[in-house]
Amino acid sequence: MELRQLLYFVTVADELNFSKAAVRLHMSQPPLSQQIKALEDEIGVELFTRNRREVRLTDAGRVFQSDCRSVLEQVRVAVSTARRTAAGDIGTLQIGMVTSGVYHVLPTILKRMGDSFPGLHIAVTDMGSADQVHAVMQGKLDIGVVHSVPTRTGLGKAPIFTEQFSIVVPEGHDFTTKSDLTLRDLEGVPLVAFSRDHAPALFDAMIASCLDAGFSPTIAHTARNPLTTFQMVRLGLGVALVPRSYARAGMPGVVFREVGETAGHIQLYAIWREQGPGELVRKVLGSVMSEPIVS
């Protein structure tokens, strides 16, 4: 049984006239009649009753007509999906994201993708920068959003977001009401810092900001993730310097204070595999990642 035979059958069933059906199919009537007869012989049932005056569907033909319509529609959808996927209009995009990017960068990317690629499914993985580099090179991620600039051969990269630091203090701390708070006010104050093993770019940028302000930070505690950092601050173990976008997390028990421009800043980069990224990735990079995200 061939797909074209199902199309021939449905056309004849619609017209209930072999001549009109042949015109619609851009073929002559005898070959059409032969194809319908061959289809009936193959499935072993009569689909039409015919005489000189009319053509009618049998009961089996009516059931077969309904099922054939479903099959042809599924084939149409499958063909359309394959073509749109090849063109990069739909599909699944695997994106890696450092934690600091979740609060501002990711919402912006999702909005842009929703506007430009409404048929695109996005799978996001919270992952450290080093792990993302490996995942992108191995093809496990299509695009990564990382802190540090990777220097690995075969990896494309582009800056997409820059932000400064904010000071995080527990509720009731003197810094919450200090009107002229500056980074230098952190001199000698116990800090809760991101572990350099887990977030080297954040750690180094924080140190650079403090040194530029004229002091060496007093690191009393370290944390691997923002939730731990905020909890330590809330418990009064120290204050913290964190990316400004973390304020969007709305964490209870802590207050975020702006300190203006700092020497160290947080730079996020989009990364991708240069060889064979696929049409979908190329389109996303060209439309979604081409314009830097404003803090």
Number of other CB atoms surrounding residue 260 within 10 Å: 9
Pair (76, 99) in one structural domain: no
pLDDT band at 256 (very low <50, low <70, confident <90, very high): very high
The tally of domains found in the chain comes to 3
Pair (248, 279) in one structural domain: no
H helices, E strands: number in the chain: 9, 12
Q: SS3 of 239, please?
A: strand
Q: Which residues pair with 273 in a beta bridge?
A: 155
Pick from 27, 54, 86: which residue ends a domain? 86
Residue 200 maps to which CATH number? 3.40.190.10
Pair (180, 258) in one structural domain: yes
How far is the C-alpha of 81 from the C-alpha of 201, rounded, in Å?
41
**Mean pLDDT across 21-27:** 92
Q: What is the mean pLDDT of the chain?
A: 88
Give CA 93 to chain center in angstroms: 5
Local structure of residue 292 (DSSP, 8 states): P
H-state helical runs in 93-159: 105-116, 129-137
Q: Is the dihedral of CA 198, 202, 203, 204 positive or negative?
A: positive
Local structure of residue 293 (DSSP, 8 states): B
pLDDT of residue 89: 62
User: What is the tens place of the pLDDT at every residue in 73-105?
Assistant: 888 877 766 776 666 565 788 999 998 889 889
pLDDT of residue 171: 95
pLDDT of residue 295: 62
Pair (58, 106) in one structural domain: no
Q: Strand 218-223 to strand 143-146: parallel, antiparallel, or no bridges (unpaired)?
A: unpaired
Residue-number span of the structural domain to which 252 is assigned: 165-264
Pair (169, 154) in one structural domain: no
Note the residue count of the chain.
Answer: 295
Helix (H) or strand (E) holding 66: helix 59-86
Pair (224, 96) in one structural domain: no
Residue 73 maps to which CATH number? 1.10.10.10
pTM of the model: 0.66
Lowest mean pLDDT across 114-123, 156-165, 214-223, 246-255: 114-123
How far is the C-alpha of 232 from the C-alpha of 255, rounded, in Å?
13
Pair (173, 158) in one structural domain: no
How far is the C-alpha of 180 from the C-alpha of 210, rounded, in Å?
17
CB within 8 A of 234, min separation 6: which ones?
A: 170, 171, 251, 252, 253, 254
CB-side exposure of 196: number of CA atoms within 13 Å?
6
CB within 8 A of 137, min separation 6: which ones?
A: 152, 154, 155, 273
Higher pLDDT among residues 74 and 190, named by residue: 190
User: What is the tens place of the pLDDT at every residue in 108-120?
Assistant: 988 888 888 887 8
Most confident range, picked from 49-53, 154-158, 167-171, 270-274 = 167-171
pLDDT of residue 118: 82
Please say whether the beta carbons of 241 and 167 come within 8 A: yes
